């Protein structure tokens, strides 16, 4: 989690997440980057699954938003980062939202807490009434 700030490569892509179709596009884009970054098959699967959960959260709970994704470097390591941003209602109780099984909607309550377990770095900024930003990174081993 700590260490120097990851340096993003120049060519990060941004896509809007406004429909179920965009959730599919988001995970396909992250998969392409994970392959380019030469993540192991298990790590690719974990990252793409986390991206799928977070993209759906952006759509369902955030009322839509954007995903920005690309390769990042820190020291000599390369990773894939994906940042999900919405201007939705925000999360009033973060501890609760990160608890397994808790959901404010109709889901299983595993999206946020599960996504956090599947990645190496996870940061979440949220403000009630303003929106939520979740950033995840998976580093090549």
Partner 1 sequence: MTERVPVLKIGDVLLVSIQVDLEDQTVLDLQDDLAARIVATGASGVVIDITAVEIVDSFVGRMLATTAAISRMLDAETVVVGMRPAVAITLVELGLSLGGVRTALTLEKGLDMLARPDSRPPAKP
Distance from C-alpha of 33 to C-alpha of 27, rounded to nearest angstrom: 10
Q: How far is the CB of 75 from partner 1 (least distance, A)?
A: 26
Neighbours of 42 (CB within 10 A): 8
108 binds partner 1 (CB under 8 A): yes
From the list 61, 63, 138, the residue with the least C-alpha distance to 107 is 61
From 17, 23, 29, 97, residue interacting with partner 1 (rule: CB under 8 A): 23
63 contact partners, CB below 8 Å, separation of at least 6: 86, 87, 88, 89
138 belongs to the binding site for partner 1 (CB under 8 A): no
Cβ contact 50:115 at 8 Å:
yes
CB of 134 closer than 8 Å to CB of 54: yes
The nearest distance, CB 111 to partner 1, in angstroms, is 6
The reply to whether 27 sits near partner 1 by the rule CB under 8 A is yes
Stretch that binds partner 1, among 2-10, 15-23, 61-69, 127-135 (CB under 8 A): 15-23
The interface mask with partner 1, positions 29-48, x = CB under 8 A, is --x---------xx-xxx-x
Residue 1 binds partner 1, judged by CB under 8 A:
no
CA distance 103 to 98: 9
Contact residues: partner 1, CB under 8 A: 20-21, 23-24, 27-28, 31, 41-42, 44-46, 48-49, 52-53, 56, 100, 107-108, 110-111, 113-114, 117-118
């Amino acid at each position: 989690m700590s260490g120097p700030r990851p340096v993003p490569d120049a060519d990060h892509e941004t896509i809007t997440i406004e429909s179920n179709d965009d959730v599919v596009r988001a995970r396909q884009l992250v998969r392409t980057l994970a392959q380019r970054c030469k993540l192991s098959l298990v790590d690719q699967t974990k990252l793409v699954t986390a991206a799928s959960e977070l993209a759906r959260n952006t759509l369902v709970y955030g009322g839509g938003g954007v995903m920005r994704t690309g390769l990042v470097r820190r020291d000599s390591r390369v990773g894939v980062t994906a940042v999900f941003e919405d201007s939705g209602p925000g999360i009033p109780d973060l501890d609760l939202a990160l608890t397994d099984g808790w959901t404010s909607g109709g889901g299983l309550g595993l999206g946020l807490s599960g996504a956090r377990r599947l990645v190496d770095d996870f940061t979440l900024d949220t403000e009630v009434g303003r929106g939520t930003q979740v950033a995840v990174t998976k580093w090549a081993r």
